[in-house]
Structure 1
Amino acid sequence: MSISRTDIADFSYFLAIARHGSFRKAALEIGVSPSALSHSLRGLEERLGVRLLNRTNRSVTLTSAGEELREAISDPFARIDQARDALNRFRDTPTGRIRLNVAADAAALLLSPVIPVFMERYPDVEVDIVASNRMVDVVASGFDAGIRYGGTVPEDMIAQRLSPDIRWIVAAAPAYLERFGTPQDPKELKEHRCLGVRLGDDRIYRWEFMGRDGEEFDIAVPGQITVDESRSMVSIAIGGGGLMYGPEPVVAPFIANGQLQTVLDDWATNGPGFQIYYPSRRQVPTGLRLLIELVREMAPLGL
């Protein structure tokens, strides 16, 4: 049986659904409606004469036949993608589409200043940015790369630094400090209202400090409110909700205009800066390589 162009398109749709385990997410990646995607897969299953997917209201999983098909066609389609991207070097203007899963702070601090310039230089390269602090498997989720604080980058990935180390500080609104006092030692935080930090893996972050002896230590601070995103935390802190702990570049504008005030400056510590990471077994797409080069060239946070 020969393979038609319709089969090839439907195979690529099938691989997207297999990656995401969801028609909705696969449809977002491809740029079609979930109903159109479902229709295409039903047509593929009818032509092949086997069921490839188990569908329920809550999940989409591969059948044994689906698993076998995915194993058989994943590498050929990956090689086609790599070959198509390699041809970009022969073009005057690179083309393509890159998908990034990015920590919210990185989206605001690193990419926001760079993307307008990237658009002007490379108008035919599409960039799809998902800004989220939740940790995901970038490969399984269909992303070309992720950007995270260096300490959270998966060890099996190739990583490139995009910023210097970042200083983490404690800050609060002047009105809060007038009402509850200014802590002089991290131990005093247990007597304060602190805004908890939820990490991308759902753990509650223990605030880290540098001791007088140069040794780092951490404290589980008390708090009624827990937030998983820096800018929301800043807004709550400005409103007098409590002491916040966050990256200095996020907080700096609000310190400069007097809405926030730092405390415990002598105890502040530095953490790994932002890194972009991607799987070592894949060729780096041209668009991704160009974006990395531009971020390093413009260095919004220094480098």
Structure 2
Amino acid sequence: MQLSRTNLADIIYFLAIARHQSFRKAGLEVGISASALSHAMKGLETRLGVRLLNRTTRSVTLTAAGEELQGLISAPVNDIGQALETLNRLRDEPAGRIRLNVLSDGAKLLLGPVLPVFVDRYPDVEIDLTVTNRMVDIIGDGHDAGIRFGGTVPEDMISQRLSPDVAWAVVGTADYLARFGTPSHPEDLYQHRCLRVRLGNARIYHWQFSKDGHQMEIDAPGAITIDETRVGVAMAMRGVGLMYVPAYVVRRQLAEGSLQRVLEDWTHHDPGFHIYYSSFRQVPVGLRLLIELIRELQPMGPLP
């Protein structure tokens, strides 16, 4: 079978489906609908004379022939991609697309101030941004890189720091504190209404505190559990309860007095935001330029 333009496109589609085992996710990566992908794969299977995919209503898996094809073509197609990316570095104006998976706080604090400058400086680079607090396999889901707090970056990834360390704050409204009192020790939180935090791995986060070398964790009590900072800040400002949040997120509310900080002498610090990506892939030009711009602008302050 000749390597026509149609066959080459279908091979790219096939590899995306093999990675994701999902027409929907693969379609998001390659930019076409799931139904169009399914149609393309049926055409490829007809031309090859073998079935490549096992399809059910819930999943897509490779047949033995599909697994063999994936093994034969993955490396050559990756080599072609890297070759094209190398040529992209020689362009006067960088181009291409980068796919990022980013925590919601990272999107707001890092990318919000930087992306307007980036698109002005590099108008031919497209950015496909997925904002989620759920922990995902960025490579398996088709992303070039992820942005997370440093302590949660997978160990097998290359990472670069993008922000200074993050100071965590417990905040509430003046009305809430007048009604329920001001905690002076982390254990006082057991007598308060708190906005509990669900992490991206579905675990309930225990609030962390540090003072004079002493560290402790509090399983903060509360009737409401959140997994999105913006929602929590809105609730805290309505006096629903105390919230545990990166201090930088609520710096405006603290400055204007709509929120007040408590237990400041017990402030805990975590590693700041890091961007991470596979050590087995060449870093796209657009991603390298974005990292350089974030480190240049330092939207959350100077790096250590």
Interval containing the TM-score (normalised by the shorter chain): over 0.9
**Distance in 2 between the 1:260 and 1:53 partners?**
55
Equivalent residue number for residue 216 of structure 2? 217
Q: Following the alignment from structure 1 to structure 2, what is the Cα–Cα distance between the partners of residues 143 and 266?
A: 39
The runs of 5 or more residues in structure 1 that have no matched partner are: none
Amino acid at match of 2:219: A
In structure 1, the residue matched to 2:225 is 226
Question: Does the residue aligned with 2:201 lie in a helix, a strand or coil?
Answer: coil
Equivalences for residues 1-303 of structure 1 within 5 A:
1-211=1-211, 213-302=212-301, 303=303
Contact 1:231 1:250 in 2 (8 A): no
TM-score of the superposed pair, with normalisation by structure 1:
0.97
State the one-letter code of the partner of 1:185.
Answer: H
Aligned residues: 302
Runs (5+) with no aligned partner, structure 2: none
**Alpha-carbon distance in structure 2 between the residues aligned to 1:223 and 1:70:** 50
Task: Compute the displacement of 1:71 (Å).
Answer: 1.6
Q: Specify the SS of the correspondent of 1:135.
A: coil
Once the 2 structures are TM-superposed, how far is the Cα of residue 75 of structure 1 from its aligned partner?
1.2
Q: Distance in 2 between matches of 1:127 and 1:59?
A: 28
- Report the Cα distance in structure 2 between the residues aligned to 1:70 and 1:135, rounded to whole angstroms: 27
* Equivalent residues of 1:158, 1:277 under 8 A apart: yes
The separation in 2 between residues aligned to 1:121 and 1:274, in whole angstroms, is 23
CA distance in 1, matches of 2:181, 2:224: 19
**SS at the partner of 2:51?**
coil
Report percent identity of matched pairs. Answer: 63
Deviation at 1:257, TM superposition (A): 2.0
TM-score for the superposition, normalised by structure 2: 0.97
Residues 103 and 147 in structure 1, CA contact (< 8 A), matched pair in contact too = yes
Task: Report the alpha carbon displacement of residue 220 of structure 1 after superposing the two structures with TM.
Answer: 1.0
Kindly state the Cα deviation for residue 219 of structure 1 after the two structures are TM-superposed: 1.2
Deviations 1:97-131 (A, max 9, x none): 00000111000000011001110111111001101
- Aligned-pair distance for 1:201? 0.8
Q: CA deviation at 1:66?
A: 1.5
